[in-house]
Structures are given as C-alpha cells and as structure tokens.
Amino acid sequence: MHATTKLMLIRHGETDDNRAQVFQGQAGRGLNARGREQAARLAERLAGARLRLSAVYCSDLERAAETAERLASALGLEPVADAALREVSLGAWQGLSRADVQARFPEEWAAWRRGVDVRRGGGETYAELGDRMMRALDRIAGRHAGEAVGVVSHGAAIKTAVGRILQMDAGGLKVLQVPANTGVCLLEHDPSSGYRVVVWNDAAHLGDALAEALSAPPA
C-alpha cells in the first residue's frame, strides 16, 4: 500500500497591496493588520484540528513567510522557506495598480484578460509557474510520505498548481477564483496515482465564505 500525503496549500494573509489591488508578484511587503488577524484565526483553527501537520513550508517572500511563522508557531514547528513556492514573477507590472497596467501595457493586459499565457511585464508565464510549483510540491510530498504538511504560498501560484492537477491550460485558469487570503486548498498525493484535489478555498475561519464572495469586487 502506498502512503498518501496530504498537502495543505495556504494563501498568505492580506497585505495593503491586496486591498489596493496592486500587482505584487515577487515584490511587496508583509501583512497588514487584517492579514495578521487572518493568520491568527487560521493558526487557532489548525492548532485545534485533529489533523496534525508535521511540517510547514513557505515561499520566502515576506507576506508568505510571516503567515507561515504565525501558523508554525501555533503548532510548535519551524517554517522551512523555499523560493520555488514564490508567487509568479510579474516583471514591470509589479507595484502597479490595475489602472496603471491597463494604461502602460494595454496589449499585455488585453491578452491576459483573454486567457493568453502572456509573459506579463517580462516576468514568468503560467506554464513556467506551474512547472516550478509542481516540482516544489513533488519534492515536498517525497520528503513527507504519509504525513500532512502545510505549504504557504500565493494566490496565482496555488491556483496554477491546482489547475495543473486538473489538467487546465492557462485559459482554463480563468474559471478558478483566486483563493481568499489564508484560504486553504487540500491536496492528496499518492505515488502510484498522483494528486487529487480534496478541498478548494476553505476559509471558514474567516466567517461566512459565501457572503464574503458575494460582496467581493470582481477579479
């Protein structure tokens, strides 16, 4: 019998750039007050869960590392930073608002909105991001066979990895909403059969997920 590994993919808590709808990519700063509260709520939830995490991995970007530190501390663990779990690189888009991107990069913006896998701002494509994320998840699953592991990453990175498992191309990713800040996606990995998506964007620790979704601005 093959040992099944559970991978809990967690988006970092909210940042000021998230709230302002600024493209962060591999730039940006740490959590804002709401993001710290979100991380604290998830940490409390995980500390009381029956499923115990044996390790917590995270992107080395500040917002993910700060979220992971709060979660790992509640579980008596030390987070392990892995640059392969970073958000997609957005090159010259990084630090710009949506309005700024539309004005400065209208062709790239239009192609991206159509679902074309464009190299935004000279950064990464979704295909490259998916390759990077799956290599990281494969490596983590191989180290922790039969265990449960937390993986703190980023919205596009998590969505792209899940899309790869669901055999979606870049255009198909448009049907998946970016996970909420500190939203959880649970994967199972079996060496003989690969990955299975068990839970998508569980943010019950933040309150009424349906009401939150209905009140959120369109992506």
Give the residue numbers of the binding site for substrate: 11-18, 63, 113-114
Measured distance CA(167)–CA(76) in Å, rounded: 36
Eight-class DSSP state of 21: T
Binding residues: 11-18, 63, 113-114
Amino acid sitting at position 202: D
The token pair that represents 105 in the structure block: 């990069």
Are residues 118 and 108 in contact, defined by beta-carbon separation less than 8 angstroms? yes
Q: What are phi and psi of 21, to 5 degrees?
A: 55, 50
Task: Please identify which of the residues 66, 69, 87, 124 carries the catalytic annotation.
Answer: 87
Eight-class DSSP state of 121: G
The token pair that represents 76 in the structure block: 């008596």
Determine whether 44 is an active site residue.
no
Are residues 164 and 121 in contact, defined by beta-carbon separation less than 8 angstroms? no
Eight-class DSSP state of 166: T
Determine whether 12 is an active site residue.
yes
Measured distance CA(136)–CA(111) in Å, rounded: 28
Catalytic residues: 12, 87
